[in-house]
Amino acid sequence: MFKNVFGSGFLVRTAHVILTWVITLILFLHDPDLRKQEENGKLVQPVLFVLLVLVSVLLYFAVSLMDPGFILSDDNGLQFTLGTTEEQQDMIPPPTSKSLRQRRCGHCLLQQPMRSKHCQTCQHCVRRYDHHCPWIENCVGERNHRWFVLYLAVQLLVLLWGLHMAWTGFSAAATWPAWLRSNGMLLAVAALVALLSLTVLLLLGSHLYLVSLNTTTWEFMSRHRISYLRHCGADENPFDRGAARNLWGFFCAAGGAAVVWEQVYFREGSDPV
């Protein structure tokens, strides 16, 4: 399930952890409200903030070390699971030779199920490939995509709280040079946290939007180059089942077995291409 913690992304993960806790320490040292609460024995907010930071770090490691859905062998006996009822699954036609026809990857020579892609960095094909994220040094795919979105949400909460702490932590001074001397480090941290907050906000918003459409970053950006989408209309998505069902299937469907997207693609009412 998890990759080697001492793999190629060890330095990136170490840098992430160090940066996270250094920023947390600086914010604590400059935030008068949290220090006053701590001195008065009111530990709810300080402990909650530290726990939230810890959860974000644990989620980061879970997403970065988790198998995103690597295809390691040819497997034609996958079970179809979408977290739907039996009646809904009955609407999917049985597999046919046409609908389940798969092409072989030119790099790893394994059969590629629909919506999978070979990642040049990871050197594996990934089911329901979304993108390769350099900050986690891992692909985002079928198995870890929901955890990636959850990580972004928790990280955004941490960053916004940290931004508030930085804003309330600035101390007054008589002159501008004196203000910079006493608040320079906090100002640099606040600027970094603000930049990270904007980045994570845009990432979270874009992923939630794509999830609501049941499409991936790769499919959205490279639609014209993907064989099973090339002949669809500009606004046509053969995997879209409505925003509510898409979100439910993404966040609430039972994990484990891989989805046979060929059966969804060739369901009744779809036009095979």
List active site positions.
133
| DSSP for residue 224 | G
Give residue for tokens 């030779």.
Answer: 97
Cα–Cα distance for residue pair 247/265, rounded to 1 Å: 18
Q: Which two tokens stand for residue 44?
A: 């709810």
Question: Which residues, in sequence order, are bridge partners of residue 71?
Answer: 125
Q: 209 Cβ partners below 8 Å, 6+ apart?
A: none
Report the C-alpha dihedral over residues 82, 85, 87, 92, rounded to 10 degrees: 0
